Structure 1
Amino acid sequence: MRVDLLIQDVQIYNSYFKRFISGNAAIVGGKFLYVGQQGTEAFEADEVLDGKGRYMIPGLIDIHLHIESTMVTPQSFSHGLIRSGVTTIVPEPHEMANVFGLDGVKAMIRASQDCVADMFYSLPSSVPATAMETTGGSIEIEDLDELLRTERIICLGEIMNYVEVITDLDGKTKTNQILSHIRRHYPHLIIEGHVPKLLDLDLHRMIYSGVDSDHTHQTIEGMEARIGAGMFIEIQEKSMTPEVMTYLTEHDVAEHFCFVTDDVMADSFERRGHLDHLVRKAIGMGMKPEEAIYAATFTPAKRMRMLDRGAIAPGKIGDFMLVSDLEHLTIERVFKQGRLVYDRGKAYTQQTADSAFPAHYYESVRLPLLTEADFTVTTAVADGRYQCRAMMVKNGSTFTEEQLLEAEAREGRLNWQAAGCGLIATFERYGKNGNRAFGLIGGDTIKRGAIATTYSHDNHNLLVVGHNPADMAMAANEVIKCQGGFCVVENGKVLAKLELPVGGILTEAPLEETARQVEALRHAMESLGYEHYNPIMSISTHSLPVSPALKITDFGLIDVNQGRVVPLIVEPK
């Protein structure tokens, strides 16, 4: 029988038994035809590959991630994925949707059409995430219908506003209306969730609404409650604590979880890899390689009902990698639909591409240049000392805490610089209303200088954190002038800058180049005293009003758990 490719002498991962079996595999038309002991005596192959006893593993599948978090285009992202053995992803482009709405989603899908990695999109469900922020675009119910009708959509993206779901019993809010519409008109569509810290009745209300997965930071108590109630768990790196990994290893829950990346910085992507990094980490933490591979191939495919992949078996797509060292997951070659797309022994360089987005995507920051006066916090209170809300940054998490700090108001101004903390400010940048808001900030953030960025989830307005107005204005203006990005300033000197001209959140530079710039940005932030495992993700989520506990948008300070805007000044001392 004639086949396109015959791979001989390999240790083939069998997903159904969760073990490796010595044998051969034949591919025809981009799919596996045969997996077993027969070889050249049974097949006439256009190409015969000697596996040399290597491990043959299905292409990895990541079902929860945001390409925009790496700040590169789909083409650059795909280049990094393939080298990491990741052949299929389910990205949710809600960052670009927050900037450009329905058109932003379509633009991301168009930009990924010629990528080597398969990209099945997740439908942004929470754009904007709340009604307490200004975004460039929104996704409404009619937009969901159009996307489901015209694009390659595989699920409804994470329902982020969990507060609305569990408190709006009448179902009148946008989030509940979307859920009701999906359940009524698309009853078989998978619904992804964002369910931080919820337990008991609140958790069950989320599941009852149709949300049956969670990718947020897990604890043993929360994970056990979710699995026990029928929820699927997507484990990202920050949840891979020794306690969680021990639980996953020692309990029979393999069908109820998978590994996902969610957000990966470009320098980490370049240096450590992608989903393959999580598989290596799981193995290093004591999980059997066969179990770790299962959680990055078979269970994610099953969760998304991608029945044509996730295993090496007859009829499945011929996506696989050859690995020489199983414990360290050393990837030698990667194949997509039976075609070699990466060889560790050969040069693997990314080709630069022309502009992949419409012209107006490069002109989305509509803000005048700022001055030091723009960082004056005005008040309507009488002169005196007041308790003020401060956002306290915590290393180890993107969650923040609220703390009350004392500050003096004098002649209609708040003397924030004497409060022993920094200032956080946000400016609406779409030219819609000119909103701006201020708060105090402390904890594990910078201790001097300033940082400005338009990469601020999910509204992507201009966010500035700093300790003096001069540095804050300089950092902000550098970002405005390059139509988006990051800038770190100290004493009037730019320490690092990353230009993100596509919607203020992406660069078309190759992944390798972007990684170098991101690494320099990270080091500059740390040089100002930022103490965080991921300072870039930390600062970019200060404006995420669905991530506990105190955040900021152009509407003001947000008490996330209460789902409301709260004043900066609490009461006189």
Structure 2
Amino acid sequence: MPNRRLLDVAYGRAHADTIIDNGQLVNVITGEIYPASVAIADGRIAAVGDVSAQRGPDTEIIDAEGRYLTPGLIDAHLHIECSKLSVTMFSDLVSRYGTTSAISGLDQILVTNGIEGVKEFLAETEGGSMRVWWGAPAKAPYTVPESNVGYRFAVEDHEQVQHMPECVGLWETVQEMVEYGDEEVLTAMDMAERNRLRAFGCAPLVDARRVAGYAASGVALCHESYSPEEELEKIRNGIDIVIRESVAAPMLRENIKLITEMGVPSDRVGFCTDDVTATDILGRGHLDYVVRLAVECGVTPMQAIQMATVNTARMYRLDDKIGAIAPGRFADILFVDSLDDFRPQTVITDGRVVARDGRPVADPVAPERSEALLSTFKLGEVAADRLKVRVPEGASAAEVQTIVLSKDVAFKRAGNRVELAVADGVVEPDPEQDTILLAVAERFGKTDNLPVAFVQGFGLRKGAIATSASPDDNNIVVAGVTSEDMAFAINEVVRMGGGQVAVADGEVLAALPLPIGGVVADLTAEQMAAKEEELDGAAREQLGSELPSPFGQLLFLSITAIPDWAMTDLGLIDCIDFTVVDPVLSTR
């Protein structure tokens, strides 16, 4: 229903609440830049250009002082909870850098607390500095085979959620679920089509045959591409491209070649950060950094801004609400001194100034949390004896399958075969071969699953590290040199009601409580960054890891959607064949 007052202001029959004067409008719809004023009423843009008819005695005037006016930036695919910040605290952080909207599945709180958890998170965006549009997961958890979670989100839930006003489509419609005919996912896609919602894809490393089937299913876009050639195959088949760039997945420099070298028009390409941390953002910015990097790599400033705004809005069919400075859209506007060196000086959300010069204008205020969000652990005390890999008596050595971490991209995990010693029927980890134990404890009380395998790449010489923030199921993942320290780490995470710990010899070296769903906390970005450095510093300096972010790697080990290996509460997962694999290949 049209806002009657907005119409009155737009037609000049009433005065604006706010007018932005003396700006250079970056019109992402036409690609033009020209002087214009902007009239705002009830948090929306009423008129652009000559707004003298909208000016009244009580109208607030904001002087842009000749700066460029651009739309607020839109993150096309963002797992907010992977930052370990609550929605309130994350919004406070990224809005400083010009991000005023994000499309998120809120899938981590979904699998711990269900639809009510999602609704609580969406409610705290009201009146905030960043709006969140919800992509309802096609199915959750995304793990294949399916791991155990607190709340299994399935086809019957779509009957309810696809009618929620915040829902813009199906999130993380995983390629394998479509190709292998997961009936729940296909049924949810049928429902989405009837409700005029789009399916958003997750299809890394697909070949031409699989792209054809994926596009035929109706998947509209994909944020998971590892090369410009893969992007080109998808876009040729009608799938829009979202280029991901983060510290964990630095992919823009290569993938932007789709535009700069292959000559594909930029209008069907957007940007996302997917998974980011407070440390990452405070160090370099958020989508503003992505815009700067794209310009550095050869796209024009206008193209880069369009990819961060109107292109994304169009992909999600939100361009009547966000993505441009035009009448009817939310008044999400940035003041920028230079388009080549894109750094928002003033950030306006809903017509309110929320940040200036990289700082919020007001401190964030988190809502009161429900008891359900704060009580998600049903795991009793874990004994060290459960965290051992056993083989038949008499064996002196075992060949084991390991997961090998990538030191460059957290989303890539190879495999390796290593021979380890056996003592009294137990396969021994070997820090000298950089081969330590890895386990996942199911924390929701659905099973007593606690499988143990082996991982390489952490470089730990002693102790253990553990996290309950671990997409896509948020069970407790722990890596360590001794079973005793691993059990201690798991029990400490449970005692905190969720979080991350580094331990050694039965002592906590660093800890980060994450009490909300066991995955996020109401800490400011600065407080979170300090905790991240404390945890990673302990893992490096006291436990021996050489990784820049050992906890960043630990966080992603349960994701099965990305080849080649993962670890869930079901055990070691072959992410090519999607089978559970015994980590012990042979003994002698």
TM-score when normalising by structure 2 = 0.90
Match of 1:143 in 2: 157
**Which 4+ stretches in 1 moved above 6 angstroms?**
none
Secondary structure of the residue aligned to 2:172 is strand
Counterparts in 2 of 1:241 and 1:62: CA distance versus 1, 3 Å: closer
1:148-167 → structure 2 map (5 Å cutoff) = 148-160=162-174, 162-166=175-179
Q: Give the AA of the match of 2:242.
A: E
Match of 2:456 among 442, 452, 455: 442
Q: C-alpha distance in 2, partners of 1:296/1:55?
A: 16
Deviation of 1:354 after TM superposition, in Å, equals 4.7
Task: Indicate yes or no: 2:243 matched with 1:229.
Answer: no
Secondary structure of the residue aligned to 2:385 is helix
Counterparts in 2 of 1:457 and 1:395: CA distance versus 1, 3 Å: same
Q: C-alpha distance in 1, partners of 2:74/2:80?
A: 14
Deviation of 1:42 after TM superposition, in Å, equals 8.0
Q: C-alpha distance in 2, partners of 1:446/1:282?
A: 37
Deviations 1:183-213 (A, max 9, x none): 4x33x21111110101111122222222232
Q: C-alpha distance in 2, partners of 1:562/1:355?
A: 44
Deviations 1:485-515 (A, max 9, x none): 1001244443321110111111122333222
Deviations 1:524-543 (A, max 9, x none): 33334444465433211111
Q: Give the AA of the match of 2:584.
A: I
Secondary structure of the residue aligned to 1:373 is helix
Worse overlay, 144-153 or 532-541:
532-541
Q: C-alpha distance in 1, partners of 2:429/2:172?
A: 37
Q: Give the AA of the match of 1:230.
A: G
Q: C-alpha distance in 2, partners of 1:551/1:348?
A: 42
Match of 2:215 in 1: 207
- C-alpha root-mean-square deviation of aligned residues, in Å? 2.4
Please say if residues 196 and 217 of structure 1, whose CA atoms lie closer than 8 Å, have aligned partners that are also in contact.
yes
1:286-325 → structure 2 map (5 Å cutoff) = 286-306=298-318, 307-325=320-338
Deviation of 1:28 after TM superposition, in Å, equals 3.4
Match of 1:413 in 2: 426
Task: Indicate yes or no: 2:456 matched with 1:477.
Answer: no
Match of 1:123 among 98, 123, 136: 136
Please say if residues 97 and 139 of structure 1, whose CA atoms lie closer than 8 Å, have aligned partners that are also in contact.
yes
Deviations 1:323-366 (A, max 9, x none): 1233332322122232322233976342443532x213222122
Q: Give the AA of the match of 1:321.
A: L
1:94-133 → structure 2 map (5 Å cutoff) = 94-129=107-142, 130-133=144-147
Indicate the percent of aligned positions where both proteins have the same amino acid.
28
Match of 2:192 among 182, 187, 197: 182
Please say if residues 394 and 444 of structure 1, whose CA atoms lie closer than 8 Å, have aligned partners that are also in contact.
no
Q: Give the AA of the match of 1:305.
A: R
Deviations 1:148-185 (A, max 9, x none): 2345211111113x22322x2xx3543334334434x3
1:231-310 → structure 2 map (5 Å cutoff) = 231-237=239-245, 238=249, 240-250=251-261, 251-306=263-318, 307-310=320-323
Match of 1:83 among 96, 102, 107: 96
Q: C-alpha distance in 2, partners of 1:348/1:525?
A: 36
Please say if residues 113 and 372 of structure 2, whose CA atoms lie closer than 8 Å, have aligned partners that are also in contact.
no
Match of 1:6 in 2: 19
Match of 1:562 in 2: 577
Q: C-alpha distance in 2, partners of 1:100/1:518?
A: 25
Please say if residues 500 and 511 of structure 2, whose CA atoms lie closer than 8 Å, have aligned partners that are also in contact.
yes
Deviations 1:276-331 (A, max 9, x none): 22112222333322111111111011111112221122333321011123333232
Please say if residues 488 and 496 of structure 1, whose CA atoms lie closer than 8 Å, have aligned partners that are also in contact.
yes
Structure 2 stretches lacking a partner, 5+ long: 1-11
Deviation of 1:95 after TM superposition, in Å, equals 0.8
Q: Give the AA of the match of 1:254.
A: S
Secondary structure of the residue aligned to 1:178 is helix
Secondary structure of the residue aligned to 1:309 is coil
Deviation of 1:438 after TM superposition, in Å, equals 1.0
Please say if residues 501 and 511 of structure 2, whose CA atoms lie closer than 8 Å, have aligned partners that are also in contact.
yes
Deviation of 1:483 after TM superposition, in Å, equals 1.1
Q: C-alpha distance in 2, partners of 1:486/1:219?
A: 33
Please say if residues 417 and 468 of structure 1, whose CA atoms lie closer than 8 Å, have aligned partners that are also in contact.
no
Please say if residues 228 and 257 of structure 2, whose CA atoms lie closer than 8 Å, have aligned partners that are also in contact.
no
Please say if residues 94 and 126 of structure 1, whose CA atoms lie closer than 8 Å, have aligned partners that are also in contact.
no
Counterparts in 2 of 1:6 and 1:479: CA distance versus 1, 3 Å: same
Q: C-alpha distance in 1, partners of 2:487/2:131?
A: 42
Worse overlay, 389-398 or 39-48:
39-48
Match of 1:487 in 2: 501
Counterparts in 2 of 1:35 and 1:99: CA distance versus 1, 3 Å: same
Equivalent residues, number:
565
Counterparts in 2 of 1:531 and 1:327: CA distance versus 1, 3 Å: farther
Q: Give the AA of the match of 2:567.
A: I
Task: Indicate yes or no: 2:567 matched with 1:552.
Answer: yes
Secondary structure of the residue aligned to 1:325 is coil
Worse overlay, 6-15 or 53-62:
6-15
Please say if residues 4 and 27 of structure 1, whose CA atoms lie closer than 8 Å, have aligned partners that are also in contact.
yes
Match of 2:228 in 1: 220
Deviations 1:127-160 (A, max 9, x none): 1213431111111111111112345211111113
Counterparts in 2 of 1:329 and 1:359: CA distance versus 1, 3 Å: same
Deviation of 1:437 after TM superposition, in Å, equals 0.6
1:374-385 → structure 2 map (5 Å cutoff) = 374-380=386-392, 383-385=395-397
Secondary structure of the residue aligned to 2:446 is coil
Q: Give the AA of the match of 2:153.
A: I
Q: C-alpha distance in 2, partners of 1:180/1:381?
A: 54
Q: C-alpha distance in 2, partners of 1:194/1:414?
A: 37
Worse overlay, 364-373 or 198-207:
364-373
Please say if residues 405 and 419 of structure 1, whose CA atoms lie closer than 8 Å, have aligned partners that are also in contact.
no
Counterparts in 2 of 1:114 and 1:570: CA distance versus 1, 3 Å: same
Deviation of 1:3 after TM superposition, in Å, equals 2.9
Q: Give the AA of the match of 1:452.
A: A
Deviations 1:383-434 (A, max 9, x none): 2433210000011222211111112445432223478311101111111211
Q: C-alpha distance in 1, partners of 2:135/2:220?
A: 15
Counterparts in 2 of 1:24 and 1:113: CA distance versus 1, 3 Å: closer
Task: Indicate yes or no: 2:382 matched with 1:370.
Answer: yes
Q: Give the AA of the match of 1:266.
A: A
Secondary structure of the residue aligned to 1:101 is helix
Please say if residues 400 and 548 of structure 1, whose CA atoms lie closer than 8 Å, have aligned partners that are also in contact.
yes
Deviation of 1:257 after TM superposition, in Å, equals 1.0
Counterparts in 2 of 1:149 and 1:376: CA distance versus 1, 3 Å: same
Please say if residues 482 and 499 of structure 1, whose CA atoms lie closer than 8 Å, have aligned partners that are also in contact.
yes
Secondary structure of the residue aligned to 1:8 is strand
Secondary structure of the residue aligned to 1:391 is strand
Task: Indicate yes or no: 2:148 matched with 1:134.
Answer: yes
Task: Indicate yes or no: 2:343 matched with 1:343.
Answer: no
Deviations 1:42-94 (A, max 9, x none): 84461233222111111111221111111122211221232121222222111
Counterparts in 2 of 1:384 and 1:177: CA distance versus 1, 3 Å: farther
Please say if residues 18 and 40 of structure 2, whose CA atoms lie closer than 8 Å, have aligned partners that are also in contact.
yes
Q: Give the AA of the match of 2:515.
A: P
Q: C-alpha distance in 1, partners of 2:358/2:108?
A: 36
Match of 1:54 in 2: 67
